Amino acid sequence: MTTLTDNTLPVTPRAMRDEMIVFVVMALLLASVPFTGVYPFFVMQALCFALLACAFNLLIGYGGLLSFGHAMFLGTAGYCCAHALKVWALPPELGILVGIAAAFVLSLITGYISIRRQGIYFSMITLALSQLLYFIYLQAPFTHGEDGIQGIPQGHMFGVFDLSKPTVLYYVVLVGFLAGFLLIFRIINSPFGEVLKAIRENEPRAISLGYRTDQYKFLAFVLSGTLAGFAGALKVFVAQNASLTDVHWSMSGEVVLMTLVGGLGTIFGPVVGAFAIIAMQQYLAGFGQWVTVIQGSIFVVCVLTFRRGVIGEIAHYFRRSL
């Protein structure tokens, strides 16, 4: 059976070097954004989603687990971070930590429940769990229901960086994104990541080699959920609100789409996919519901003809791992 990510190539020292070069190019490009005329809020938003998609990709691309409920980590971290900033008046760095901690706890619980089933059952369970949370947040008092948490103070990061200045905020978000990205990069290329890939390729064989595959998948789930929470906490500073859209399951679908377009199981794919989808939403906003139709069509086209995604196709063409 063809697995979801048969496009990934083995990592050799040469591949590692390629990946590092591409990373440096990407970092430089992103760092120069404030000097070009590009609207920084668009890039910041895309960076948050790129981090979310990378975290999601860690789970599906390397663990073979399609979570259809990753929005719950994004939304939970967002709500908790926003609540910490606004009601508890915590400084930004602690607010982010609160958001990450919330996503960590949530991923421990949901991971424990969902990791027992595989394949489509795993997807359906994660989807149902995120819908459960959606209804809880709809009714819980601290989320303010349909209104969401608004007017969140941005504050000074570490007491120094004034986050209400777009350029300062941009670099803080960029550093956050790059840190998260490097962490995922490190996880993928660690012995743990290798075992994860082995499980994806052939779980019975990994079990027969003595690996407790459930523990590896659980750890991957927790790492992925926590990093998705980091993206959610960063997003609070960019959007200055936390709302139900971030928890709704259609958001989980968008994350899947971003990763699929960029290339499942490629390191840079989710970043490219996130920028492509966010740009599409930005520029097609005037078309109303047709955006949904276009997104659906992209899903269909990707699954039928373009399963490797943008980066996957490029990597395949040059026979490099990207």
Residues that bind another protein (CB under 8 A): 1-4, 66, 68, 113-114, 116-121, 123-125, 127-129, 131-132, 135-136, 138-139, 249, 253, 256, 260, 288-293, 295-300, 302-304, 307
CB 62 within 8 A of CB 197: yes
Instruction: Name the strand (E) or helix (H) holding 313.
Output: helix 309-318
Shortest CB 110 distance to another protein, Å: 9
Shortest CB 9 distance to another protein, Å: 19
Shortest CB 249 distance to another protein, Å: 6
**Closer residue to another protein (CB): 88 or 290:** 290
68, 141, 236 from 138: Cα distances, Å: 19, 8, 18
CB 240 within 8 A of CB 11: no
**For 50-68, b where at least 16 C-beta lie within 10 A, e where not — what string?**
bbbbbbbbbbbbbbbbbbb
Shortest CB 7 distance to another protein, Å: 13
Shortest CB 10 distance to another protein, Å: 20
Nearest in space to 100 (alpha carbons), one of 123, 127, 73: 73
C-alpha 60/C-alpha 255 separation (Å) is 12
Shortest CB 113 distance to another protein, Å: 5
Shortest CB 254 distance to another protein, Å: 10
**Closer residue to another protein (CB): 114 or 243:** 114
**Closer residue to another protein (CB): 307 or 320:** 307
Shortest CB 1 distance to another protein, Å: 6
CB 57 within 8 A of CB 269: yes
Instruction: Name the strand (E) or helix (H) holding 162.
Output: strand 161-162
Nearest in space to 278 (alpha carbons), one of 39, 60, 66: 39
Shortest CB 63 distance to another protein, Å: 12
**Closer residue to another protein (CB): 7 or 154:** 7
**Closer residue to another protein (CB): 132 or 207:** 132
C-alpha 285/C-alpha 287 separation (Å) is 5
**Closer residue to another protein (CB): 167 or 250:** 250
**For 166-178, b where at least 16 C-beta lie within 10 A, e where not — what string?**
eebbbbbbbebbb
**Closer residue to another protein (CB): 96 or 220:** 220
Nearest in space to 269 (alpha carbons), one of 257, 286, 281, 285: 257
55, 70, 140, 263 from 298: Cα distances, Å: 22, 20, 35, 13
Query: Residue 209 has which token pair?
Result: 């080699």
Phi, psi of 308 (to 5 degrees): -80, -20
**Closer residue to another protein (CB): 19 or 246:** 246
**Closer residue to another protein (CB): 108 or 168:** 108
